[in-house]
Amino acid sequence: MTKTIVLTALAVISVVLSFFYEVIPAKSATPANTAAYAITPYAINSGEDMVRALELYEPVEEESEPEVEAYYSKKLNMRFANPDARELVETVAKWIGTPYSYGRSSKKGTDCSGFVSAIYRDVYGVDLRRSSHSMFQEVQRIKKDSLQTGDLVFFRRSPKQPVFHVGIYLKNNKFIHSATSGGVMVSSLKEPYYRNYYYAAGRVN
């Protein structure tokens, strides 16, 4: 009985005390007017103020990047940005798969210098000498990191031996040439064989 009286008394006391204390909710970390400042730091008193505020904080659209690739060669599986190279690229692409044939320069068969001379004659109207070694004597020497589409790349087996192979540079270390095994094809200057035998690059003026 005594226990019941004590519990009842405590309950009454707690109810009475609750009237003397106000529960204050925790303050938000973000001020109530933050949303307004997200739009503008000054007062908005008219419709014009609102329009000006929205224009001020209108998200800036990033400029779209310029068209990097002008066209794509499906046969070469490469994209080219320089439209001046279109004729060259489209012409060499038609030679892909032509078998290697020493001393010839037609789509029925061609060697490396025959292929290059035929392309330069058809695309640029330039008659190059018939051998890769002779072509090397005609070109302006350029650095490897300055290669552009249409430049020539030359190969030799050792410093004491003459140039024995030539190809036409495309892009991204890729060049097209007529190989003894495979005929007209696209290869990379990074391939071990061509990396080892690469000699120089040249530009036909």
pLDDT tens for each residue of 38-56? 444 445 555 565 555 555 5
- Measure the N-to-C terminal CA separation of the chain; round to a whole number of Å: 117
The CATH number of the domain holding residue 189 is 3.90.1720.10
Q: Sorting pLDDT into bands at 50, 70 and 90, what band is 9?
A: low
Please check the confidence at residue 201 and state whether its pLDDT lies above 90: yes
pLDDT tens for each residue of 69-100? 478 999 999 999 888 899 999 999 999 999 99
Q: Which helix (H) or strand (E) holds 192?
A: helix 192-197
In the residue annotation, 177 being an active-site residue is answered as yes
Domain span at residue 22? 2-56
Please check the confidence at residue 12 and state whether its pLDDT lies above 80: no
In the residue annotation, 133 being an active-site residue is answered as no
Tell me the helix, strand and coil percentages in the chain, rounded to 5.
35, 20, 45
Do 51 and 85 share a domain, yes or no?
no
Which listed residue (165, 170, 175, 189) is catalytic? 165
Residue (of 189, 188, 169, 167) closest to 178 by Cα position: 167
Tell me if the pTM is above 0.75: no
Do 139 and 175 share a domain, yes or no?
yes
Which listed residue (117, 132, 153, 177) is catalytic? 177
Which listed residue (76, 88, 92, 112) is catalytic? 112
pLDDT of residue 83: 86
Q: Who has greater pLDDT, 79 or 28? A: 79
